[in-house]
Each structure stands twice: as structure tokens, then as C-alpha cells.
Copies of this chain bind each other. A is one copy, B any other.
Amino acid sequence: MSRVVKLAVIPGDGIGPEVIAEALKVLDAATAGSDVTIDSTHFSLGAARFLETGDVLTDADLGSIKEHDAILLGAVGGVPGDPRLANANIERGLLLKLRFSLDHYVNLRPSVLYPGVPSPLAAPGDVDFVVVREGTEGPYVGNGGAIRQGTPHEVANEVSVNTAFGVERVVRHAFAVASARPRKKLTLVHKTNVLVFAGSLWQRTVNAVAAEFPDVTVDYLHVDAATIFLVTDPARFDVIVTDNLFGDILTDLAAAISGGIGLAASGNINPSGQFPSMFEPVHGSAPDIAGKQLADPTAAILSVALLLAHLGLEAAAENVNRAVVADIAARTGQPRATAAIGDAIVSTLSID
């Protein structure tokens, strides 16, 4: 029996289209000959589309994206400082709007230091952890405002909103992730000594849900201390659960220590399945190197592996991961074109 997966593809801006082209090659190859057919629809969204049409993400776009089973996104965002984009916040209006509208409350960001990958750390040890970043609350809700803007009496506020509903569902998901991993360890990262109300909600929630997962070891770190351990002893981490902003910061640092954002994949997941989940590399659109075949498509390709796993296609996901690990291990330091890396990974897939 054959299964059709309707995939919304958003190549986006800058290097987005180049890395997505390779990701799709790998996706095709990894599902070729299986009973799964990928039916892709491309959506032209991002800074380029905004400059052409003035639209960032229309209700029609969003409606039609929702008709899909999953989303693959490259990167969005124009050239920094482009005056024509001064009043368009592509990040908020497109990327965050998708995450919020599609209730992507689990932002899953694995960090693995693969054999052969240089780390900026002198002695990184065995880096293999995953950050479960909350995706729909916290300081990201857009609940800010200002009075007397542009005057010496301006006051600009930003509100971090945290709900029992929102915290509990992501914490429970993180415990489930931890419970399925060999080390079964969960670290809550927050700043409970300063952000006492939000921190208390997070800490009480972790304490309560822990009772349902007696096999999982739980600890806690303040966010500032967590950054220290990420560079002095990253091997101590297994699963980190944290809020939207702390997760944003920690996952860039995590990517940096495990080979750079060129290798960092992510999934914006709606575990209920009510809306399509979205897979994207952690890196941005890097307009300075766009169109030159200089970008590393590995993060986008690893995001395809996360997508396949999310679709329940575990064998195909493993196949892609293995091919990437093999390709990385064989790297010589000689620069390769974006397409050459994609081709090499495709050729390493074990198609049987």
C-alpha cells in the first residue's frame, strides 16, 4: 500500500534555496523504491517575496500550508540593514508566525559532535544531547509595547507569558524524549532565582511530571551556569528542557560547540498532529554567500532526517543520518560546492 506525504517546501531567502535543493535530493533518494511518495509544493515566501508583493504570509498562504503533512524550510531573511525591509520583520511575520499558528510547541534541536568534526573546544568529550525548546510562549509571544516612543521618557516593555498548559505539555514531551534515550537525564534550564514567577511554574511543573517518569534523572541549572557547562563539560547534558528565549540562546551555543550551525538541524513540532510540523536548519539565510554554492547543506539534510523520523519512517531517517555521518567523517577540509555535498550524501545512502 502506498502512502503519499504532502510536503510544503519553503526554500526562502539567501542560501535557503540552495540547501533545500540538496535536502530534497536526499529526501527523494531516501524514499525512492519505498511505499512512500513525497508530493512537494513550493511556497515562495520570505524577504524576496515581500519585496515583490508586499506580503509576508497571507491567510491564504497559511491556509494552504496547513493542508500539508509537513513543512521543510530553508532560511528566511533579507540582507541586514536593507532599508526596504526596515519595517518588515520577516522573522516575526513569517518564521515565528508559522511556529505560533501551527502550534509548534516543541522545538527539537539535537547536538551531536560527529567523528571527524572539529569543535572550537579543546576537549569537547562525547557531545550528544538534545534541547527541547518551548516554541509558543515565553518572551516570544509578541506581548510588548512602548509609550512615549522616541522621547526621553520612553518606556518599552516585553512580557514573557508562561502558562501551566504550555509548560506542562513541553515538559512532558521532554521527559518522554529523555526516557527513550540511554542516559535518561533531563536538565531544566531557567533563571528561577530572578524570574521567580515563570521560574516557579517551570520548576513545579518539572517536579510534578517527574513523578510520571521515575526512570528519568532530573537536575536544574540556571541559564548562565548552563552556558559554562556547555563549554567546559557538554558531555554532562542528555536532554535540556527550557523556555523559548533560553532555548534560542543555548541552541546556537550548542551548535557552535558541535561543529557549527552548518550542521545543526531542528524540528518545530506539533506533537498532536493537528498542524503540520516544520523542519529547518538552525542557520539563517546568509545573504553574503548566497547563490555561490558555498553553503553547507548538511543542516538542511539532517533536518530531512528529523522529518523522516517524525513521519514514522525511522529506517529512512537512520539511512540519511548514517550517510551524513559517513560524509562528514570523509571530509578532507577541501571546500566542496553545496551540490557536491548533497550528491556525495546521496551516493552514500544505502539504497536496497
Give me the interface of A with B, judged by CB distance under 8 Å.
89, 91-92, 96, 119-123, 139-140, 142, 144-146, 148-165, 168, 191, 193-198, 200-201, 204, 223-225, 227-228, 230-232, 245, 248-253, 255-257, 260-261
Contacts and interface: CB of A to CB of B under 8 A. Distances in A.
Contacts of A144: 195-198
Nearest to A81: B220
A307 B155 CA distance: 32
Given A228-B261, A249-B227, A161 B152 contact: no
A224 B261 CA distance: 11
A77 to B, nearest CB: 8
A156 B162 contact: yes
Contacts of A197: 144-146, 156-158
B223 A249 contact: yes
B150 A196 contact: no
A121 B195 CA distance: 31
Contacts of A96: 194
B196 A92 contact: yes
Interface centre among A151, A155, A198 (most CB of B within 10 A): A155
B165 A161 contact: no
Contacts of A151: 164
Contacts of A223: 248-249
A168 to B, nearest CB: 8
Contacts of A158: 139, 159-160, 162, 195, 197-198
A193 B92 contact: yes
5 contacts: A92-B196, A150-B204, A153-B163, A153-B164, A227-B227
Contacts of A193: 89, 91-92
A155 B165 CA distance: 9
Nearest to A225: B252
A195 B159 CA distance: 9
Given A89-B193, A120-B231, A224-B249, A198 B162 contact: no
A195 to B, nearest CB: 5
A210 to B, nearest CB: 15
Contacts of A150: 204
Contacts of A260: 228, 232
* Top 10 closest pairs, chain A to chain B, by CB: A224-B252, A144-B197, A154-B164, A227-B253, A156-B197, A156-B201, A228-B256, A91-B193, A158-B160, A122-B122
